[in-house]
Homo-oligomer: A and B are copies of this chain.
Amino acid sequence: MNKILVLFDSATGNVKQMADLVGAGAALVPDTDIRVLSVEEAKPADVEWCDGLAVGSPTNMGVLSWKMKRFWDEQMIDTWMKVDGKIACAFSSAGGWGGGMELACQSIHTVLMNFGFLVFGVTEYAGRKMTGHYGAVACKAPRETEVQESCKLLGRRLAEWTALYVHGRKDQHPDAKDIPRLTPADVE
């Protein structure tokens, strides 16, 4: 089985909603086992278990939340050098566009790279004026269809990369599939 962990911190419920969408996206890849866990519930063993993980946090001052940071600083530290090579990505919600959601995703990538993870974003568009080149981003709750699609696309891509790379399922390369990949021109 393809194993995906969606790990999130959420203060208002917005990032939890994103996490559920990321999980739903991962479920679009057959034979994928998915855990969606808050940072309070998750254990290092969950990270060790997964092939790929998506980490979501509120954008707090342009950086991941202190609770999510504490998880990696304190709980995960003992697994450092034991979890190299997993595939990972990020998502975040801020109060306004320009409020630091991309930078918060970048800070998550920075943490994940330190643990030896391979991190990625999504090339294509999820809808009109919406992409996730550096992770899925939302302004407040993921209410708009294209934001929801962006979260799902991130989760699907994560499960595709792990299916392809960890499990050798070449049919799961995004370019091998029959799902159109939207360019900016497609969503004008």
Copy count, this protein chain? 4
Question: In the complex, which range does the number of interface residues on chain A fall in?
Answer: 35 or more
Asked whether any CB of chain B lies closer than 8 Å to the CB of A20, the reply is: no
Asked whether any CB of chain B lies closer than 8 Å to the CB of A49, the reply is: no
> Quick one: closest B residue to A123, CB to CB?
B116
Q: For residue A124, which residues in chain B have a CB less than 8 angstroms away from its CB? A: 81
Q: For residue A81, which residues in chain B have a CB less than 8 angstroms away from its CB? A: 123-124, 181, 183
Q: For residue A74, which residues in chain B have a CB less than 8 angstroms away from its CB? A: 66
A-B contact pairs, 28 of them (CB 8 A): A61-B72, A61-B73, A62-B111, A62-B113, A63-B69, A63-B111, A66-B69, A66-B70, A66-B73, A69-B69, A81-B181, A85-B174, A95-B129, A96-B184, A97-B129, A97-B131, A97-B139, A98-B133, A98-B134, A98-B137, A103-B103, A103-B110, A113-B134, A114-B133, A116-B122, A117-B120, A129-B139, A165-B166
